[in-house]
Structure 1
Amino acid sequence: MTVVSVSMPEELVERIDAFAEEHGYTGRSEVIREASRNLMGEFDDPRLEDHELMAVVTVLFDYHGTTVEERMIGLRHEYEGVVSSNVHSHVGDHHCMELFVLEGCLEEISAFVGRIRATNDILSVDYSVRPVDEIDPIT
């Protein structure tokens, strides 16, 4: 097996180690391998292929000392053919939430979600994807 070096905040390493111990993994490498396989397979659902899709993407970030809001605006403009709606909201004293409604093909939506996830200083990204035509409902 190839050994890969990955940089991450100490708090995340501690969470991974605790998760591994609590759930019976042999160590952090096993947790990271499984998480990587799951992430890579998220958009591999054949029921989504060849359909016009709709997606809702929710992004949470701390707006103090970051440029996330400006980067979200940039991505909204870059993907204007996919983003059909966008809402910005303040949450609590230090956080913002961006909600994106997308319409497009699997490749476009997957690319947009990937770009959002690759943005530094994001606290969480949640999304759901459904075929617009609902011919083959996903359960």
Structure 2
Amino acid sequence: MTITLFFRSLRYGSITVLTNLLPIGVAFGIWGLVSGEVNMLVSLGMGTTLGIIVDFTVHFLSKYLLARREKNLTPEESVMFAFETVGFALIITTLSLCFGFLVLLLAFFEPLHGFALFSSIAFVSALLIDLFLFPALLMKWDKQHAT
């Protein structure tokens, strides 16, 4: 809802809902296959990672819309612009977060292990979704509504 208001577009807001919730679903799915147990800290991981996942999407979408609205670029050129401006930063941020969270695997408090693994799975899946699915959805959506 906030993204919809911030970018003044119900279209883009609806796309971001999918791309922000999908990584959490993927993480819970993988976690269910690996562990099958959802404890309090894994649930906390969902809330924590969701904020960071939304941040990834906002950065990519803001650069995409900058290219579309102010630079009048095509959807394909806008995606390339977004990749060039924030793509590397998203990758480095994801790696930093994963390595930082995976340090918790060394903790003696075992429930933190689940928190660390769940969060890392969510970060990586969010990165993959924001680099592959999200741009494809943006281009498809903009092409359909341009004609």
Q: Please indicate, yes or no, whether the TM-score normalized by the shorter chain is above 0.5.
A: no
Q: Which has the larger radius of gyration?
A: 1
- If each structure's helix is expressed as a fraction of its own residues, which one has the higher value? 2
- If each structure's strand is expressed as a fraction of its own residues, which one has the higher value? 1
TM-score (norm 1): 0.29
